[in-house]
Structure 1
Amino acid sequence: MLVVLPTAALFLRVLDETSEQKNETNLAKQGVEYLGALGGLVTSLAESQSSALQNVHAEPASLTAAVARVQGVDERLGEDLGTTQRWSGLKEKIGRLPGVTGDSATIYEAHVEVSDLALELYAEVRDSSLLNRDPDSDIWYLQEAVAVNMPEAVTHVSRMGDMANRVAAAKTRQKPPLQIEFGYEVLAVQDVAAELTDNLQEAANVTTSATLSGNLVNNLDRFRRGIEAANRGANFGGPPNVSAMVTAQSTLTTALTALSGVVLQEMNSLLEERTDSLNYRQIEAWILLGVAVALIAVATFWTRTRGRQSREPAADSGDSSREVSVQGDSGPSSPAGGYGGSPYDPVPNYGDVPNYGGSARQERSGALR
């Protein structure tokens, strides 16, 4: 029992920790799946914003498909991730976008509100899935890139391009405030691009994945080229080059979509490896417990067998001594009387002494006298 109880306690502790880590890993995988659906939604909202500013109020087909995809994912995972309520509010806001009318500022602000809600849903997913507290450094940097930097980059790139169009179409008196807002979006794109590059570089430096670095290089280079094109189109100090901005926006959106797919795939692969490792630890714990129980059973059987064997010779030795003492007291070699018989016999047994001649008779006659 002194061996079994500590072994069982250690086993239960390892099993409990492993089960908890498996549950957290499964929750993180659900978060990755949800983030994949949100990536298409953010891109579609950017397209819807640009279309609405061009007086196309019908909901784009890409946005309809993206909403349906997120709805399906939320129906399966929303309860575990706690996103259903927030998603329902965002979905309702998206459904109202085609009915928004007024000037470009009104339409733009309505889409900005919806895209901000989408970014908040990103934050909800990464928090409830525990991705923002992941113990592995590479996964942490990747989730920061795909759940914070990339959706912000898509959002600010879209606003930058749309603000360039608004500046170009604005009257002279309306341009100064729009140019300030346009400059803010350009700087926001540069800042988020720098943060995205740093996070991906850190992930590549610390990762255990053999494919992450190679998969990131081409898409990250394409994204950087898009940033450079956007800076040229922004034309600080002068009017923005709208055509250059539109081209840069398309390049950046395509690069971010591809980059997001690569990062999500790498995160899922790393989480699968973690799950396999935890399953192995669980099986190993069961095997070690079985070996410990088997060793204890063998040791118990061996100890009892040795104890039984050590008691049997002692019992045999006691029986033999009793038998010898009995034979010594009343065996056939004992004389029937005289000195060989009872010690209280008063008559010496001289008759058993051999007769060797006269000396013997003299000793007898002397004794009689």
Structure 2
Amino acid sequence: MNSRRTRLRSALAVVLTVLVLLPAAGLFLRVLQENSKQRDTVQLEQDGVEYLTALGPLITALAESQSSALQGVAAEPASVTAAVARVQSVDDRVGDQLGTRTRWTDLKDKISKLPKATGGEEKVFTAHVEAADLTLELFEAVRANSALKRDPDADISLLQDVVAEQAPTAVTAVSRMSDLANRAAGARRALRPALTVQFGYQAQKANEIVSELTDTLQEAVDDTKSNTLSGNLVSNLDSFRRGIEAANRGANLGGAPDVSTLVTAQSTLQTALSALSGVILKEIAALLDDRSDSLTYRRIEAFALFGVAIALIVVATLWTRGRARDARTGSTEQSGESGRDVSVQVSGPAGGNGPGSPYNGSPYGSVPNYGEAPNYGGGRERSGALR
């Protein structure tokens, strides 16, 4: 009966262990999968930041190339060659993950053909506009495919808007403003109205995008978790604004553009963009590093908690088995003691002189041993006559 009860307890212990272990393992795997998914997303965003870091110098180099080409310089500027090499290096490493390989190949081919563009200012200008537009599309593809555009944190989402869309668009617009003003100044009277319209469109676009950029940065500063973003942005944003203000003065909307002022503003703006983009990208990288560290800590924490759960289950199992073993041992000892008591009670009557024997306590009641003659004469032997 006790053995059956012990086996039942052991079976129940095994069942309870399984019922506790399976949900714990399922919860651990779910947490681990979600953690791994978030870590992969962070790594993809970090790849996007690396790609955007290489694209920033390319957009300013193309603006320089456009201006020099319109001035009759056919050779590719050194800044373009260096920027293309940097983007190619990054695309070789992370292009497959970001889905940029085809776009970059087409853009690189378009850039390589810029020095060969002929047919007058219009065709040269159009070729550079197409290359710049493809570059802006590559910016958009990187921030979309790297998940930066969908980042859950407001500060990262806002900062990537600035560095991947608004700032490159603003610099491109100012570059076109400057070159269109220069072309209009030397163009025939019949071509000036069309060039002036294009110039006005680019000037309006630059002002609108810079206003959006300023508002976006202010919102990012208000929502950020970084302690350094506000201080790092102030000086660089001021330089960027001064470049835009100089471009507006040179544009002189409603009057004749000041080409020299626009050229100076373009150079100032490109320098300011490089500094501003560098600060923003470093801030994004730091925020992503903090998130990656947090996810790593959570991963270690999940493993530790699961290990503790397993250890507790093992201890509980061993304790239950120990109790069951002790119960079986106690049952066996009780059975042995019961058997010894029965044997003592049986051996008493069989001996004849035990405590319950009727012969006990009487000299006449002793039972002679087998083969021994009883001595009735007080110890004297019988006489020979009697024998």
- TM category (shorter chain) comes to 0.7 to 0.9
Structure 1 unaligned residues grouped into runs of 5+: 341-350, 353-369
One-letter identity of the residue aligned with 1:79: D
Who is 2:156 aligned against?
A: 139
Aligned counterparts of 2:34 and 2:358: Cα–Cα separation in 1? 87
Aligned counterparts of 2:47 and 2:54: Cα–Cα separation in 1? 11
| 1:226 and 2:248 matched | no
| 1:334 and 2:356 matched | yes
Who is 1:8 aligned against?
A: 25
SS at match of 1:220: helix
1:30-109 aligned at under 5 Å gives the runs 30-109=47-126
Who is 1:254 aligned against?
A: 271
TM, length-normalised to structure 1: 0.88
How many angstroms does 1:333 deviate by? 2.0
| 1:281 and 2:303 matched | no
Aligned counterparts of 2:292 and 2:164: Cα–Cα separation in 1? 22
SS at match of 2:108: helix
How many angstroms does 1:54 deviate by? 0.8
Deviations 1:195-216 (A, max 9, x none): 2112212221111111111111
Who is 2:208 aligned against?
A: 191
Deviations 1:231-251 (A, max 9, x none): 222112111111221222122
Deviations 1:169-189 (A, max 9, x none): 223332222111111101110
Aligned counterparts of 2:343 and 2:55: Cα–Cα separation in 1? 101
Aligned counterparts of 1:33 and 1:323: Cα–Cα separation in 2? 87
Aligned counterparts of 1:89 and 1:19: Cα–Cα separation in 2? 34
Aligned counterparts of 2:65 and 2:282: Cα–Cα separation in 1? 27
One-letter identity of the residue aligned with 1:264: L
Deviations 1:236-289 (A, max 9, x none): 211111122122212211111100001111111111111111111111111112
Who is 1:115 aligned against?
A: 132
How many angstroms does 1:314 deviate by? 3.4
Structure 2 unaligned residues grouped into runs of 5+: 1-17, 349-353, 366-387
One-letter identity of the residue aligned with 2:208: D
Who is 2:146 aligned against?
A: 129
SS at match of 1:303: helix
2:254 to 237, 245, 261: 237
How many angstroms does 1:59 deviate by? 0.7
Who is 1:182 aligned against?
A: 199
Aligned counterparts of 2:358 and 2:226: Cα–Cα separation in 1? 104
Deviations 1:70-110 (A, max 9, x none): 11111111122121111111111111111111222221111
SS at match of 1:239: coil
Aligned counterparts of 1:216 and 1:273: Cα–Cα separation in 2? 20
SS at match of 1:275: helix
How many angstroms does 1:320 deviate by? 3.1
SS at match of 2:36: helix
| Stretch moving more, 312-321 or 11-20 | 312-321
SS at match of 1:102: coil
Count of aligned pairs:
340
TM, length-normalised to structure 2: 0.84
Aligned counterparts of 2:110 and 2:331: Cα–Cα separation in 1? 93
One-letter identity of the residue aligned with 1:333: P
How many angstroms does 1:329 deviate by? 5.0
SS at match of 1:172: coil
How many angstroms does 1:336 deviate by? 4.4
One-letter identity of the residue aligned with 2:148: L
Who is 2:3 aligned against?
A: none
Aligned counterparts of 1:327 and 1:98: Cα–Cα separation in 2? 119
2:185 to 164, 168, 171: 168
Who is 1:317 aligned against?
A: 334
| 1:210 and 2:227 matched | yes
Deviations 1:34-61 (A, max 9, x none): 1111111111100000011111111111
Q: Percent identity?
A: 57
SS at match of 1:90: helix
